[in-house]
Amino acid sequence: MLKMNHVSKLFNPGTVDEKIALMGVNLHLKPGDFVTVIGSNGAGKSTLMNIISGVMKPDAGEVSIDGSSIGHLPEHRRSRWIGRVFQDPMAGTAPNMTIEENLAMAYRRGSSRGFQIGVTSSKRKLFKEELQRLGIGLENRLRAKVGMLSGGERQALSLLMATFTKPQILLLDEHTAALDPARAELITKLTNEIVSDLNLTTLMVTHNMEQAIRLGNRLIMMDKGRIILDVNEERKKDLTVEQLLGEFENISGHKLSDDRIMLG
Amino acid sequence: MINFLSNLDGPVELGLLYALMALGVYITFRILDFPDLTVDGSFTTGGAIAAVLITNGVNPWVSTLAAFGGGMLAGVCTGLLHTKGKINGLLSGIIMMIALYSINMRILGKPLISLSGEETLFSSIDAIWVMAVIVIAGKLLLDAFFRTDLGLSLRATGDNHRMIRSFGVNTDVTKILGLSLSNGLVALSGAVVAQHSSFADISSGIGMIVIGLASVIIGEAVLGNGSIFRTTLAVVLGSIIYRIVVAVAYEIDWLETSDLKLITAIIVIIALVVPTIRRSMKQRSMARKRSAELLTGNQGKGGAA
Ligand SMILES: Nc1ncnc2c1ncn2[C@@H]1O[C@H](COP(=O)(O)OP(=O)(O)O)[C@@H](O)[C@H]1O
Ligand SMILES: [Mg+2]
C-alpha cells in the first residue's frame, strides 16, 4: 500500500535555525492498517503527513502508493488517493459555501471538474444518507453555510468529506485536538466507525495516549524526526499508558513532552 | 431634484453598461479574494478592440465578443504572473495594468477613436433594452456557472484554497480561470461603454477598479450577501445606484466633474471602514454586557453564600 523509504526532511538547512523534521524514516502500511502515531511536539508527525499528501517534497527518500512512486506528483494530483482531516476545524471546509456544496466538491475528489451541475437531486439524496451516519442532524441543514456550524460539527463534516469517496489512504492530524472533550469523543467514535466500515488504510496522529492504544491495529512513536517504536497488534492489546511512557523514556532518553498530552 | 427623479433612465442605462465591469470586479475581489488591478487596463482594452473592429466594418456583436476574448487573455496573463511567476497579487495586477497601457495604445493606434456614424449594438434598439438583456443574461449565466463543479471549485479557491487542493483541484488553474473570466467581463463592459459613448479613449479605464469596488460594496450594503443569485443581483443594483449617486452629485452646483473620483474613493472608504467599526463596537458592547452579567451573577452567588 503506502511505502516510505529513507525519507528525510530538513527546514532551513545550513542555518542556525536548521530543524530536522524527518530523518531516514521508513514506513510501510498494509491495506486496511489503522496506525496511530504519537510523539512529542516537533517530532515530525505533521511533516510526515505533509510529505505523504504532497504539501511538501522530501529532501531525500521515496514515497510510493501501490508500488508506483508518487514523489514527483503535486498535492492536487495525489488527492485522488489521499483523504485528509486537519487539526483546525476551519481548515477542512469552505465556510462561505453550503454543506451540500462542500459535499459536492468532496464528491469529485481527484476527478476532473467541468460544467456539470454540482448539487443535483440525486447527489443531494446521497449526501443526506451520508450525513445521517454522523447522527448530529446535519442532514436537515443541507443549505446552511458551513461557517455557521460549531467546531465539532465542522470537524464531523470534514471527516465525512475526507472519507465518503473511500480514499486509499486517510490521514488524520490531531483532528480532535481543537475540540472540547465531549466533541472530541464523538469525532473519535465516528472516526473509528467510518474507518472500520470502509476498511480505510489510516494514519492518525493523536496526543491522547489512551486513544492511541485503544484505536487501530498498530502504534508508532516518533521523536526528533525518527520512528523510535513500532508496536504491532498483539503487543498493543495489553499495552498500558504507563508502559508506553516508560518505553518512550527508555528509548529516547527524555520524557515525552507535549503540554497537551492526555494520558487517558 | 424632482426633474431629476423623473428622469432615471440615464443613470439606469449607465449602471447597466458598467454592471458587467462590477460583476468582473466581484469575481476577483469577493469570490477569489484577489484585489485585481488589471481592470483599469482591461476595460480600455475592451473598448479599443471593439472600436477598431467596428471602424473596420466588423459586425458589432462579433466585435463585442472579441473584446471579451481580449479581456480574458489579459486576465490569463495576470494569473500566470501571480501563480507561475509567484508575484504578489496586487503587484501582478499593477504590472499588467501598466503593460496594457502600451498594448491598448498599439490597438487604438491613436489616443482616441470615434465611433460616430458607425453601426453599433445600440444603433437600432434603445441601449437600455439591449443592456438589460445582456446584463440579465450575463448575471444568470454567471449564477449557473457558479453552481457547476468547476464553479464550486473556483469559489472554494477563494474561500479555502488549502481545503480544495486537498480534494484535487489545481488552484493555479482556478485562479487563472477566475481572473480571465473577470477581465473578460470588464473588457465587455469597456466595449459596450465605448459603443454607447461613440468613442474609445486610451484613458477610459482609469479608476475603474474603484468604481467597480464601490458598486460591489453599495450593492452588498443594500441587498446583503446571501446566495450567489442574490449577490450578483446586488452587484448589478449597486452599479445602478452608484450612477444615481453620481447623477445627484452632478446636480450639486459647487461640485466639479473631476471631484467624482474623490467621491467614489470616499464611498469605498466609508464602505470598507464602517463594517469594521460596527463590528468592533458590537463586540465592545457585547463584552460590556457579558462582564456586567458575570459581575452581577457573581455578586448574587456571593450574597447567597
Ligand atoms: N514550515 C516550517 N518551517 C520551518 N520549520 C518547520 C516547519 N514545519 C515544521 N518545522 C519544524 O520541523 C519540526 C517538525 O515539525 P512537525 O512535523 O510540525 O512536528 P509535530 O507535528 O510532530 O509536532 C519542528 O522542529 C518544527 O519546528
Ligand atoms: Mg503537528
Confidence of residue B292 (pLDDT cuts 50, 70, 90): confident
With contacts defined as CB-CB under 8 Å, which chain B residues touch A84? Answer: 166
CA-based radius of gyration for chain B: 22
Domains in chain B, number: 2
Section A46-70 average pLDDT:
94
Pocket test for ligand 1, best of A7, A10, A11 (most atoms within 8 A of CB): A11
Q: What angle do CA B203, B207, B212 make, to 5 degrees?
A: 125
Considering the domain architecture, whether residues B264 and B195 belong to the same structural domain is answered as: no
Contact partners, residue B84, CB within 8 Å, separation at least 6:
B172
The interface predicted TM-score of the complex, written ipTM, equals: 0.89
Cβ pair A3, A30 in contact under 8 A = no
| Residue-level pLDDT at A58 | 95
Considering the domain architecture, whether residues B123 and B159 belong to the same structural domain is answered as: yes
* Residue B178, pLDDT above cutoff 90: yes
* Residue B76, pLDDT above cutoff 60: yes
Considering the domain architecture, whether residues B295 and B222 belong to the same structural domain is answered as: no
Considering the domain architecture, whether residues B151 and B284 belong to the same structural domain is answered as: no
Residue A72 carries which DSSP code? T
Ligand 1 centroid – CA A240 distance (Å): 28
Considering the domain architecture, whether residues B276 and B182 belong to the same structural domain is answered as: no
Residue A86: nearest ligand to its CA?
2
Q: Which of B251, B273, B295 is the last residue of a domain?
A: B251
Q: Residue B295: is it exposed, middle or buried by C-beta count within 10 angstroms (0-12/13-18/19+)? A: exposed
* Residue A5, pLDDT above cutoff 90: yes
The answer to whether B152 contacts chain A (CB < 8 Å) is: yes
pLDDT tens-digit series, residues A117-135: 999 999 999 999 999 999 9
CA distance B103 to B114: 19
Tell me the average pLDDT of chain A. 93
Residues with CB under 6 A from ligand 1: A 11-12, 19, 21, 39, 41-47
With contacts defined as CB-CB under 8 Å, which chain B residues touch A101? Answer: 152, 155
Ligand 1 centroid – CA A21 distance (Å): 6
CB contact under 8 A, A118 and B156: no
Section A216-222 average pLDDT:
95
Q: Which of B215, B230, B251 is the last residue of a domain?
A: B251
CATH number of the domain enclosing B232: 1.10.3470
Considering the domain architecture, whether residues B169 and B212 belong to the same structural domain is answered as: yes
The answer to whether B83 contacts chain A (CB < 8 Å) is: no
SS3 state at A37: strand
pTM value is 0.89
CA distance A203 to B16: 55
Domains of chain A by range and CATH? 2-252 (3.40.50.300)
With contacts defined as CB-CB under 8 Å, which chain A residues touch B153? Answer: 105, 108, 113
Considering the domain architecture, whether residues B126 and B243 belong to the same structural domain is answered as: yes
Considering the domain architecture, whether residues B180 and B290 belong to the same structural domain is answered as: no
Considering the domain architecture, whether residues B178 and B159 belong to the same structural domain is answered as: yes
The answer to whether B155 contacts chain A (CB < 8 Å) is: yes
Confidence of residue A257 (pLDDT cuts 50, 70, 90): low
CB contact under 8 A, B148 and A75: no
Most confident among A162-166, B279-283, B292-296 (mean pLDDT): A162-166
Considering the domain architecture, whether residues B206 and B270 belong to the same structural domain is answered as: no
Domain residue limits at B274 = 260-305
Ranges assigned E (strand) in A151-217: 169-173, 201-205
B140: closest CA of chain A, how far (Å):
14
Considering the domain architecture, whether residues B247 and B269 belong to the same structural domain is answered as: no
Considering the domain architecture, whether residues B77 and B191 belong to the same structural domain is answered as: yes
